[in-house]
Amino acid sequence: MARLVVVSNRVADPRKTAAGGLAVALGEVLNNTGGLWFGWSGKVVEPAQGGRPGEGQVHTQQAGPVKLVTVDLSREDHDTFYAGYANGVLWPVFHYRLDLADFDPRYITGYRRVNQMFARKLKAFLRDDDIVWVHDYHLMPLAAELRALGCSQRIGFFLHIPLPPSLILAAIPGHDWLIRALFAFDLVGFQSKADLLHFARYAEAEAHAHRLDGGRWRAFNRTVQAGAFPIGIDVEEFESLAQAPEGREMYERMTREYSRRKLLVGVDRLDYTKGLPNRMRAFRELLERYPEHRNSATLIQIASPSREDVVAYNDILKELESLCGSINGNFGELDWMPVRYIHRTVARQRLPGLYRASRVAMVTPLRDGMNLVAKEFLAAQDPADPGVLVLSRFAGAAEQLRDALLVNPYDVESIANATHLALQMPLEERRMRHQQLMSVLRSQDVHWWCDSFLDALVQAQPEETGTPWLRL
């Protein structure tokens, strides 16, 4: 294969385990092709230090055979492109939360400016036969900007978060520009069939695209191929993490500590999409409705800090703290705390042990592109005595993981009932469900995801480039 160039908002060093499964999987292809990974350095430059909008210093670093290229952002660009448009408009709206979006017109200007800058800086590193793979909602106009500079490489895009139905998308000022920009890619990948359907409906109804064969749509003088490529995890890497000393030590410590209790686990970035308050209400409902779980069931909820400079995240933090406090205050005993809430990041090596010691995982996002925690929990289980996954039907993972206990995350009683079922599920049924779920996980793991996307990108039919339609 030609050299792979990955572009994403943040860049990880694929040699470090802490980077996670995605970085490891991309790292493998990057290593094999002597590839390049391009994105933001994570550094914000204040005006007093010379930070100017649309400009940023470029840093290069070699990570084995892979070149890491990163760019600094000025304060203005960070606040408008990253905090403003990406996380204040696209993140909430794509998760169906129009009520949380802030359509300040400065944000879209910053978003365009940074995508233009990324295109300019990246172009200097590109070779004619590179395959470029752009990731996520921060960079939707990147191919259009590269095409406007004359780049004709094969360029694919993968959206890690959901794509909402047209009527929600259409509420974004500039939505037509945003979706039109997707037509500058050769291949656009979504997490689920539902997201793909939303793209198809939007393309046909709003952009008047013609549907061609082979999952292709034609509009704006371009043809784009689109498909669902549900992201997976590195099952083997996760299984071996569970067997590694830190994973085992965590497992043994948790099983010893909670030998008289049944553990439930939740692991999420602290984000309003993850349905954390409703999960706590469901746990309270479980204790109210099914008193046999009092003095027995303990929910460990890891809520790792994220995007703390965005206001909506502080609201969710306060709500969660108050719910946990009131559950522990009302139900707790001297020797039993119903909820253990941890607002910190736990080392990745310890997660598999925690998952494996838990009888139930509560994965109840209100909306999620995929949700990798659901998959990691399953991969960490002991197949002879596995735990049960309670999973939101609105996570992309629910399309694949039909043998989980699927719940409506808005319906607190139904989550409580499913959790009760999960806690009581006989061994035979737990094993059967786990076996079915693992066969899905293994057949569509992160390597399958990477290979099938890149195969489709390589095979996508080449297109005319640099059309004036795409000038932004």
Question: Contacts with ligand GDG in 109-148 (CB under 6 A)?
Answer: none
Q: Toward ligand GDG, which CB reaches closer, 145 or 368?
A: 368
Q: Annotated catalytic, 420?
A: no
**Cβ closer to ligand GDG: 205 or 347?**
347
**Residues 280-309, interacting with ligand GDG (CB under 6 A):** 302, 304
Interface with ligand GDG, residue 231, by CB under 6 A: yes
Annotated active-site residue 160? The verdict is yes
Q: Is residue 173 part of the contact set for ligand GDG (CB under 6 A)?
A: no
372 binds ligand GDG (CB under 6 A): yes
Given candidates 67, 78, 160, 433, which one binds ligand GDG under the rule CB under 6 A? 160
Q: Are 172 and 89 in contact (CB under 8 A)?
A: yes
Q: Which of 346, 406, 421, 458 binds ligand GDG (CB under 6 A)?
A: 346
Q: Is 370 in the site for ligand GDG (CB under 6 A)?
A: yes
Pairing of strands 216-219, 297-304: unpaired
Which one of 345, 439, 443, 461 is in contact with ligand GDG (CB under 6 A)? 345
Contact 61, 44 (CB under 8 A): no
Strand partners, 219: 222
Binding status of residue 320 toward ligand GDG by CB under 6 A: no
If the CB atoms of residues 51 and 232 are measured against ligand GDG, the closer one turns out to be 232
CA–CA distance, 154 with 239 (Å, rounded to integer): 35
Q: Does the footprint of ligand GDG cover residue 264 (CB under 6 A)?
A: no
Q: Which two tokens stand for residue 75?
A: 């304060």
Contact positions with ligand GDG (CB under 6 A) in 4-23 = 20
400: closest CA among 232, 189, 276? 232
Q: Choose the binding region for ligand GDG from 7-15, 66-74, 146-154, 347-355 (rule: CB under 6 A).
A: 347-355
Q: Indicate whether 351 belongs to the interface with ligand GDG (CB under 6 A).
A: yes
Within 13 Å, how many C-alpha atoms sit on residue 281's CB side?
12
CB of 353 to ligand GDG, least distance (A): 12
Least distance to ligand GDG, CB of residue 331, Å: 25
Q: Please tell me whether residue 279 binds ligand GDG under the rule CB under 6 A.
A: no
Closest C-alpha among 340, 342, 326, 329 to residue 263:
340
Could you tell me the sign of the dihedral formed by the alpha carbons of 12, 17, 21, 25, in that order? positive
The Cα diameter of the chain in Å comes to 71
- The active-site residue, picked from 95, 135, 138, 160, is 160
- CB of 168 or CB of 372, closer to ligand GDG: 372
Q: Which of 237, 376, 403, 445 binds ligand GDG (CB under 6 A)?
A: 376
Could you tell me where the DSSP H helices lie in 290-411? 311-331, 351-356, 372-380
Q: Where does residue 284 rank: exposed (0-12), middle (13-18), buried (19+ CB within 10 A)?
A: buried
Rule CB under 6 A: is residue 403 a binding residue for ligand GDG? no
Binding to ligand GDG, residues 416-455 (CB under 6 A): none
Contact criterion met (CB below 8 Å) for 373 and 280: no
Q: In what order do the strands lie in the sheet with 297-304?
A: 339-342, 297-304, 262-269, 360-363, 388-392, 405-407
Q: Which of 79, 368, 403, 445 does the annotation list as catalytic?
A: 368
Of 306 and 424, nearer to ligand GDG (C-beta) is 306
Which residues are CB-neighbours of 180 under 8 A, at least 6 positions away?
Answer: 144, 207, 219, 220, 469, 470
Instruction: Give the nearest distance from C-beta 35 to ligand GDG in angstroms.
Output: 19
Q: Which of residues 23-62 bind ligand GDG (CB under 6 A)?
A: none
CB of residue 314 to ligand GDG, shortest distance in Å: 18
In the complex, the smallest distance separating the C-beta of residue 127 from ligand GDG, rounded to whole angstroms, is 28
- For residue 191, the minimal CB distance to ligand GDG (Å) is 7
Look up tokens 């890619």; give the residue.
185
Radius of gyration of the chain (CA): 23
Q: How far is 276 from 268, CA to CA, in rounded Å?
A: 9
Residue 191's nearest CA partner among 236, 149, 226, 160 is 160
Is 208 buried (19+), middle (13-18) or exposed (0-12) by CB count in 10 A? exposed
Give the active site residues.
Answer: 160, 368
Chain positions contacting ligand GDG, by CB under 6 A: 20, 160-161, 231, 267, 269, 302, 304, 345-348, 351, 368-373, 376
